[in-house]
Amino acid sequence: MGRGAAFFDLDKTVIAKSSALAFGRPFYRDGLITRRDVVKSAYAQLMFRLGGTDEQTMARTRDYLAALCKGWQVDQVRQIVAETLHELINPYVYAEAAALIEEHQAAGRDVVLVSASGEEMVRPIGELLGVTDVIATRMAVEDGRYSGEVEFYAAGPSKVDAVGELATERGYDLADSYAYSDSYSDRPLLECVGHPTAVNPDRALRKLAVENAWPVLEFRHPVPLGRRLRERPAVPVAAAALGVGVGVAIGIAWYGRHRRTRAAAPTA
């Protein structure tokens, strides 16, 4: 029998918001996306949230977001993210999640972040949490630009395939392993381990957890990641090509509403 590991989804499980949520403004400002892209991205986000467990829906979302990022210069994206990380993302790490990660590590278990966001974003966030192993979406790059192809899309059953490969490589006993997620789309991930837990679950996942007597945790105390940045050594920051596409519309919508509100406010 091998040792167990702990697999954590990222958005709304470890951090209190989408890891790509706030990148809309600088990407729009620097001309990487258009207003038309905003509408399409909003639709893709909605479809993923409403029907993300359907393989055809996930495939359409993957293909659209890959096409959206096609041709972007990797260095430009990295620079934008590096310059705006503290101002716009500043992910809030749930104190409960950070403590749980530390408990698993203290028990001798490897902790793995498993996220549909781009590896370029997930890995630096993981390093800030003291987590070196990640399973995330990988985009193909040609001549310094995103090619529009997805090498690996870390969603749905694909997450389980990657977890299984890692378990075989590392000798993990999945029956003695743990998994945490907020989304019903991660049902395959939760079902592949012996100790699944729903964290801040959506309605469908909460129902599934109740039916299977899975633990349900509510994380409510985010800790600014900036505090951890000051406490840990600096790590390189890059972009989540695919993950940014999923969250980009929400960030732009918020920014536009914020500007309209300010413009409408009466002056003294």
In this structure, what are the phi and psi dihedrals at residue 132, rounded to the nearest 5 degrees? -100, -15
Place of tokens 């729009």: 28
Angle between helices 241-264 and 35-51 (to 10 degrees): 120
Active site residue 143: no
- Catalytic choice (11, 37, 182, 186): 11
Q: Are 121 and 240 in contact (CB under 8 A)?
A: yes
Q: Name the residue type at position 81.
A: V
Which candidate, 177, 181, 173, 219, places its Cα nearest to that of 197? 181
Active site residue 176: no
Place of tokens 């996930």: 58
DSSP three-state, residue 103: helix
Between CA 169 and CA 243 the distance in angstroms is 27
Q: Are 25 and 255 in contact (CB under 8 A)?
A: yes
Between CA 190 and CA 193 the distance in angstroms is 6
Active site residues: 9, 11
